[in-house]
């Protein structure tokens, strides 16, 4: 492991001192293109900030500009006042996402470890089923699941959005299995000789080692549930239960016909929806790249 | 089986039980129920009425909206997915050159993909407004911009534009893969006098085909399931010009309570996704290059 790292570092050093070969040479043209593309891609984001900082008069007159001209920072505190239930939306998002993340991390780690290490009759057939389920679009189960949750009396609660996560997701199981497969099995054997049971091995030895992949799973789950629109749209119709992703849209769709939606506050909501994702990406990218599932296809070909 | 082996198997089933229970309760059971529902006429308030294949027959022969939605979904997938890939590849190639501030450019290009879809839809509602920035920009060049989301001809291109905004996700993956291409290949090509363009087509692209293929499959599956953008921006309008499979399914199920009919749509959606995935895998043998095959 250590040698591989140092070799990689050495190669990198050699590469950086080398004169760049033709295909890699940058030109003023490349810079110009990149600057234009980045600018075009980021214009909508600047526009959002501009709208979020607009006064109510600007909203009513619909005279937004891309570059902000006015700076009504109080819009960011207004949404937490009495005007809109944004505070409630935000709290709901946190509750639902936290529940989902905890569920996926707890269950996927356990199931993935079992598929990687423990031997049992029928395991391989089961794993083929795990892989196969990834192909089934969620829309197939959408209606029966709705009926199930309706019969359980769970509609208009957070439960339909949280509970299924405690039963692991095929992709995450796959990720954990790949990760564990590449850890030397001597670790488990040594632990077993020392008298640890299977759960002990998982809890004390595996779980700490799994942290990069579990953090990655947490990030995937968080981004998926935080931005999820369809799930809350199906299950939550009470405004006080809605997460931000649904609430932001709900505000625009329920404003009076003659009155424009409060676009400035809606965009503040959109920014609140986006900022955690940027933060999560910023803090978590290390784990997403470190996870490196590309090389770990051993055994699934 | 030895006692130890039996104990190990028992622990396996115990550890795997969350998945097994989830599979039965949230997937297998619902799938079987969904097949049954799709063969009934059911509004969820009165007992389901068996109608056999009627729902499927009606969808395929007697529902112009379904065909329109199917066509729109194809249209959307056929343009947005390749366009996103081509742009992603082009941007990754630009970033892969010995460029200064690469990290900054990469971040700026990736930033839009971090915006949750709901927020993206809100943003594009404003960007695509008749007097929004996009039309202002077109105005500079003397082009009168259309009312994107209100005109049947322009609503699909508008949704495609929105999807292309997220091309940065593919760029990051492709860029990572590009860095893994052995440098010697380029050096050898350089010695042989291959131009940068030739190097791109003869080395970079073939080496990237596995990751391009992965993006293609994921992109297609995602495009066939497009929902939030359509639902928030247009509700399928005007005149169903932007209606796609999943919003149609959603409306049938949760607005009209045609649960049997909607279940049939979900199975047709599955069939479409399956067919396209199989076609992609079939064709992959011809153009996807795996290094392991040569070793």
For A21-62, what is each residue's pLDDT tens digit? Answer: 444 566 888 899 999 999 999 999 999 999 999 998 888 888
Chains A & B: contacts with CB separation below 8 Å: 256
What tokens appear for B263 in the block?
A: 């279940």
The yes-or-no verdict on residue A81 having pLDDT over 90 is no
Cβ atoms of A274 and B114 closer than 8 Å: yes
Stretch 13-52 of chain A: residues touching chain B, C-beta under 8 Å: 15, 20-27, 30-31, 33-34, 37-38, 41-45, 47-48, 51
- Whether omega for the bond prior to residue B238 falls within 30 degrees of 0, making it cis, is yes
The per-residue pLDDT for B103 is 87
Cβ atoms of A51 and B228 closer than 8 Å: no
- Determine whether the interchain pair B115/A45 forms a contact, defined as Cβ–Cβ distance below 8 Å: yes
Pick the range with the lowest mean pLDDT from A61-65, A109-113, A190-194, A211-215. A61-65
Cβ atoms of A120 and B12 closer than 8 Å: yes
Stretch 273-292 of chain A: residues touching chain B, C-beta under 8 Å: 273-274, 277-278, 281, 289
Contact list, A273 vs chain B (CB under 8 Å):
115-116, 118-119
Residue B229 sits at the chain A interface (C-beta within 8 Å): no
Please calculate the CA angle B97-B102-B104 and round it to the nearest 5 degrees. 160
Of A161, A181, A173, A127, the C-alpha closest to A241 is A161
Residue A255 sits at the chain B interface (C-beta within 8 Å): no
Percent of chain A with pLDDT over 90: 60
Cβ atoms of B253 and B269 closer than 8 Å: no
When CB atoms are compared, the residue of B25, B27, B168 closest to A133 is: B27
The per-residue pLDDT for A285 is 80
Cβ atoms of B219 and B211 closer than 8 Å: no
The per-residue pLDDT for A255 is 66
Average pLDDT of span A91-104:
97
Q: CA-nearest residue of chain A to B173?
A: A289
The yes-or-no verdict on residue A9 having pLDDT over 70 is no
**How many other C-beta atoms lie within 10 A of the C-beta of residue A259?**
8
| Helix, strand, coil percentages in chain A from 3-state DSSP, rounded to 5 | 70, 0, 30
Which residues are CB-neighbours of B97 under 8 A, at least 6 positions away? A23, A24, A25, A26, A27, A30
- Determine whether the interchain pair B232/A249 forms a contact, defined as Cβ–Cβ distance below 8 Å: yes
DSSP bridge partners of B40: B50
* Residues of chain B falling short of pLDDT 70: 1, 291-295
Average pLDDT of span A144-163:
96
Q: How confident is the model at residue A292 (pLDDT cuts 50, 70, 90)?
A: low
CA distance A197 to B5: 13
Give the position of tokens 């299924």. A164
Residue A264, classed as helix, strand or coil, is helix
Residue B204 sits at the chain A interface (C-beta within 8 Å): yes
Give the position of tokens 């309008």. B237
Residue A81, classed as helix, strand or coil, is coil
Which residues are CB-neighbours of B118 under 8 A, at least 6 positions away? A227, A229, A245, A246, A248, A249, A270, A273, B228, B232
Q: What is the pLDDT of residues A212-232, one digit of tens each?
A: 899 999 999 999 999 999 999
Contact list, B267 vs chain A (CB under 8 Å):
140
The per-residue pLDDT for A83 is 73
* DSSP for chain B, written as a single string: --HHHHHHHHHHHHHHHHHHHHIIIIIIHHHHHHHHHHTEE--SSS--EE-TTHHHHHHHHH-HHHHHHHHHHHHHHHHHHHHHHHHHHHHHHHHHSS-TTHHHHHHHHHGGGGS-HHHHHHHHHHHTSTTSHHHHHHHHTT-----GGGSHHHHHHHHHHHHHTTTHHHHHHHHHHHHTS-HHHHHHHHHTT--HHHHIIIIIHHHHHHHHHHHHHHHHHHHHT--HHHHHHTTT-STTTT--HHHHHHIIIIIS--HHHHHHHHHHHHHHHHHHHHHHHHHHHHH---HHHH-
The per-residue pLDDT for A77 is 87
CA distance A160 to A231: 8
CA distance B107 to A38: 9
The per-residue pLDDT for A293 is 47
Average pLDDT of span A231-259:
87
Distances (CA, A) of B50 to A233, A268, B41: 29, 50, 6
CA distance B73 to B240: 12
When CB atoms are compared, the residue of B23, B189, B266 closest to A140 is: B266
- Determine whether the interchain pair B11/A66 forms a contact, defined as Cβ–Cβ distance below 8 Å: no
Q: Which residues of B249-279 are buried (b: 16+ CB within 10 A; e: fewer)?
A: bbbbbbeeebbbbbbbbbbbbbebbeebbee
- Determine whether the interchain pair B121/A135 forms a contact, defined as Cβ–Cβ distance below 8 Å: no
**How many other C-beta atoms lie within 10 A of the C-beta of residue A267?**
26
Please calculate the CA angle B148-B151-B155 and round it to the nearest 5 degrees. 55
């Amino acid at each position: 492991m250590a040698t591989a790292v140092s070799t990689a570092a050495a190669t990198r050093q050699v590469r950086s001192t080398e004169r760049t070969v033709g295909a890699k040479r940058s030109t003023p043209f490349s810079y110009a293109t990149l600057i234009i593309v980045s600018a075009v891609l980021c214009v909508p984001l600047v526009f959002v900030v501009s709208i979020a900082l607009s006064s109510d008069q600007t909203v009513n007159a619909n005279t937004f500009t891309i570059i902000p001209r006015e700076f009504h920072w109080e819009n960011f505190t207004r949404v937490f006042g009495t005007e809109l239930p944004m505070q409630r939306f935000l709290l709901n998002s946190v509750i639902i996402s936290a529940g989902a993340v905890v569920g996926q991390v707890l269950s996927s780690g356990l199931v993935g470890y079992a598929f990687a290490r423990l031997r049992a009759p029928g395991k391989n057939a089961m794993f083929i089923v795990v892989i196969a389920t990834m192909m089934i679009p969620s829309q197939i189960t959408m209606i029966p699941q709705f009926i199930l949750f309706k019969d359980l009396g769970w509609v208009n609660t957070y439960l339909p959005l949280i509970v299924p996560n405690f039963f692991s997701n095929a992709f995450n199981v796959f990720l954990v299995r790949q990760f564990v497969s590449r850890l030397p099995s001597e670790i488990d054997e040594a632990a077993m000789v020392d008298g640890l049971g299977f759960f002990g091995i998982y809890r004390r030895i595996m779980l700490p080692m799994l942290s990069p992949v579990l953090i990655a799973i947490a990030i995937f789950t968080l981004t998926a549930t935080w931005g999820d629109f369809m799930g809350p749209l199906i299950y939550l119709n009470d405004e006080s239960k809605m997460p931000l992703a649904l609430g932001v849209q709900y505000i625009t769709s329920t404003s009076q016909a003659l009155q424009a939606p409060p676009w400035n506050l809606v965009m503040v909501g959109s920014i609140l929806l986006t900022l955690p994702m940027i933060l999560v990406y910023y803090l978590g990218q290390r784990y997403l790249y470190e996870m490196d599932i590309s090389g770990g296809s051993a055994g699934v070909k | 089986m030895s006692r130890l082996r039996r104990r190990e198997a028992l622990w396996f089933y115990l550890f795997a039980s969350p998945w097994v229970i989830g599979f039965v309760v949230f997937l297998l059971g619902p799938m079987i129920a969904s097949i049954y529902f799709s063969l009934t006429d059911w509004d969820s308030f009165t007992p389901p009425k068996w109608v056999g294949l009627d729902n499927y027959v009606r969808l395929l022969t007697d529902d112009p909206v379904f065909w329109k939605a199917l066509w729109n979904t194809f249209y959307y997938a056929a343009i947005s997915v390749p366009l996103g890939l081509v742009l992603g590849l082009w941007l990754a190639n630009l970033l892969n050159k010995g460029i200064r501030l690469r990290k900054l450019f990469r971040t700026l290009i990736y930033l839009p993909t971090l915006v949750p879809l709901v927020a993206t839809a809100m943003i594009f509602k404003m960007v695509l407004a008749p007097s929004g920035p996009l039309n202002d920009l077109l105005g500079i060049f003397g082009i009168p911009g259309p009312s994107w989301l209100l005109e049947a001809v322009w609503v699909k291109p508008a949704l495609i534009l929105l999807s292309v905004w997220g091309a940065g996700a593919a760029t990051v993956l492709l860029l990572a893969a590009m860095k893994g291409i052995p440098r010697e290949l380029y050096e050898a090509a350089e010695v042989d006098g291959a131009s940068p363009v030739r190097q791109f087509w003869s080395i970079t692209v073939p080496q990237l085909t596995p990751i391009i293929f992965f993006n293609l499959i994921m992109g297609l599956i995602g495009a066939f399931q497009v929902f939030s953008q359509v639902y928030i921006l247009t509700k399928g309008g005007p005149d169903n010009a932007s209606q796609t499979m999943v919003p149609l399914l959603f409306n049938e199920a949760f607005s009209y309570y045609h649960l049997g009919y909607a279940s049939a749509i979900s199975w047709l959606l599955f069939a479409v996704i399956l067919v396209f995935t199989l076609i992609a895998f079939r064709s992959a043998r011809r153009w996807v290059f795996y290094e392991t095959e040569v070793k």
